Amino acid sequence: MERVWAARAGLGWAGANGLLTTPGYGSWVFLGVILTTLPLAPDVPLESRCGMCRLCMQSCPTRAIVAPGVIDARRCIAYHTVENRGDIPEEVQRQMGEWVFGCDICQEVCPWNARPVVTTERRFDPVNHDIEPGVVELSEDAFNARFAGSAIRRAKREGIRRNMGIVGRG
Ligand code: SF4
Ligand code: SF4
Q: How far apart are CA 24 and CA 41, in angstroms?
A: 21
The rounded Å distance from CA 37 to ligand 1 centre is: 38
pLDDT for position 87: 97
pLDDT for position 170: 66
pTM comes to 0.90
Q: Is any ligand 1 atom within 6 A of the Cβ of residue 76?
A: yes
Of 55, 57, 71, the one to substitute when testing ligand 1's pocket (max ligand atoms within 8 A of C-beta) is 71
Q: Is any ligand 1 atom within 6 A of the Cβ of residue 96?
A: no
Q: What is the dihedral of CA 150, 85, 30, 43, to 10 degrees?
A: -160
pLDDT for position 100: 95
Q: Whose CA is nearest to atom 6 of ligand 2?
A: 110
pLDDT for position 6: 93
Nearest to 52 by CA among 28, 68, 71, 72: 68
Q: How far apart are CA 11 and CA 160, in angstroms?
A: 34
Q: C-alpha angle 76/10/113, rounded to 5°?
A: 45
pLDDT in tens, the chain (170 residues): 889 999 999 999 999 999 999 999 999 998 988 999 999 988 999 999 999 999 999 999 999 999 999 999 999 999 999 999 999 999 999 999 999 999 999 999 999 999 988 889 898 887 777 888 888 899 999 999 999 988 899 999 999 999 999 998 86
Q: Is any ligand 1 atom within 6 A of the Cβ of residue 60?
A: yes
